[in-house]
Amino acid sequence: MPTITYRDALNQALREEMQRDPNVFLMGEEVGLYQGAYKVSRGLLEEFGAKRIVDTPIAELGFAGIGVGAAMGGLRPVVEFMTWNFAVLALDQIVNSAAKMLYMSGGQIPMPIVFRGPNGAALQLSSQHSQAWESWLSHIPGLKVVAPATPYDAKGLLKSAIRDNNPVVVLEGEMLYNNKGDVPEGEILIPIGQADVKREGSHVTIICHSKTVAIALKAADQLATQDISAEVIDLRTLRPLDDTAILRSVAKTNRVVVVEEGWPQCGVGAQVADLIQREAFDQLDAPVLRVTQADVPMPYNKQLERLAKPSPEKVVAAARRVLYLD
């Protein structure tokens, strides 16, 4: 099975879907001539030409809206944000136009559009360039939100996103693009809305997504050396949440830690904790604990940034607490 990077997995997904459907096109800053700020679109301009690989000005609100308009006109746009930090400027179009169009038109206008780009912190990009937006985006009915952690999931989810008739937000990660993983040749389509057990375990469930999957897996390794068997559930899709998969694991372990890159208040973990206490109240042997970014804007200094981010150590500590070991 070929081992490729997360970047190349996304690139394959884009290429295959563009080959398959002439209505799919990619637009965003630097996606064409420059081959993508993070090279996700490498080679696509050469293959598909400037009609379908569209370099935009720096105008997130405008080009996101143009994407939505193009979808209203029957195309299937993939809108790349150089990073989701800049997409804050486009939220009106994502929320008020894309997510609400089908509903407020009484079902007349489907919205087959993908908004994608790296989300969350990379390394030392400081306060304005390190924000994790999944809590905001997954709050919105009318959107679907996926956050793949591996090359395989990235390819399968991006392909499904492009074929979906709804607006799908794809949260990638600068720190994920170089990660390698096995990706079988041929068609991969991962259904949106399905979590994935990234590691089986029996004592405690660690729920994670995107970059925090690697953190959870490292924590599980460390816990294993302490004879603690952790199950790692990768949500993969943040909207709609895979309640069933979450509850299945809770039923097995009765103890949960949720880890995410974003800030704590009203985060994804809050929703997961709410779900679990509501639907599995009697199965919980301990409160659900959460590991999040510190509740501060991201500092530039490397040491402070490390303190601010979730880490395997923090997850291990939380896991031990839900096991009443500390």
Taking CB within 5 to 8 Å according to partner kind, which of ligand TPP, a copy of itself, other proteins, none is near residue 251? Answer: none
**Which of 8, 5, 6, 28 shows the shortest CA–CA distance to 16?**
8
Taking CB within 5 to 8 Å according to partner kind, which of ligand TPP, a copy of itself, other proteins, none is near residue 14? Answer: none
Q: Confirm or reject binding of residue 266 to a copy of itself (CB under 8 A).
A: yes
Question: Closest CB to ligand TPP among 29 and 305?
Answer: 29
Let me know if 129 is a catalytic residue. Answer: yes
Let me know if 60 is a catalytic residue. Answer: yes
Q: Confirm or reject binding of residue 69 to other proteins (CB under 8 A).
A: yes
- Cα angle 240, 246, 250 (rounded to 5 degrees) comes to 160
Question: Closest CB to ligand TPP among 16 and 60?
Answer: 60
Q: Confirm or reject binding of residue 174 to ligand TPP (CB under 6 A).
A: no
**Alpha helices, DSSP H only, in 49-204?**
60-72, 84-87, 91, 99-104, 134-138, 151-163
Q: How many CA atoms lie within 13 A of 51 on its CB side?
A: 6
Count of positions on this chain that bind other proteins (CB under 8 A): 75
Options 187, 221, 295, 326; binder of other proteins; rule CB under 8 A: 295
For the chain, strand residue ranges (E) read 3-5, 24-28, 53-55, 76-80, 114-118, 144-146, 168-172, 180-182, 196-199, 204-208, 230-234, 237-239, 256-259, 289-291
Cβ atoms within 10 Å of 192's Cβ, excluding its own: 21
Taking CB within 5 to 8 Å according to partner kind, which of other proteins, a copy of itself, ligand TPP, none is near residue 166? Answer: other proteins
**Which of 212, 220, 179, 204 shows the shortest CA–CA distance to 287?**
204
Binding to other proteins in span 84-103, by CB under 8 A:
85-86, 88-89, 92-93, 96-97, 101-103
Nearest distance in Å: CB 221, other proteins: 26
Question: Closest CB to other proteins among 57 and 186?
Answer: 57
With CB under 8 A as the contact rule, which of the stretches 32-40, 94-102, 117-125, 183-191 interacts with a copy of itself? Answer: 94-102
Strand order across the beta sheet in which 289-291 lies: 196-199, 230-234, 204-208, 256-259, 289-291
Question: Tokens 């940034």 belong to which residue?
Answer: 305
Q: Confirm or reject binding of residue 29 to ligand TPP (CB under 6 A).
A: yes
Q: Confirm or reject binding of residue 311 to other proteins (CB under 8 A).
A: no
Question: Closest CB to a copy of itself among 225 and 265?
Answer: 265
Question: Tokens 């400027």 belong to which residue?
Answer: 89
Catalytic residues: 60, 129
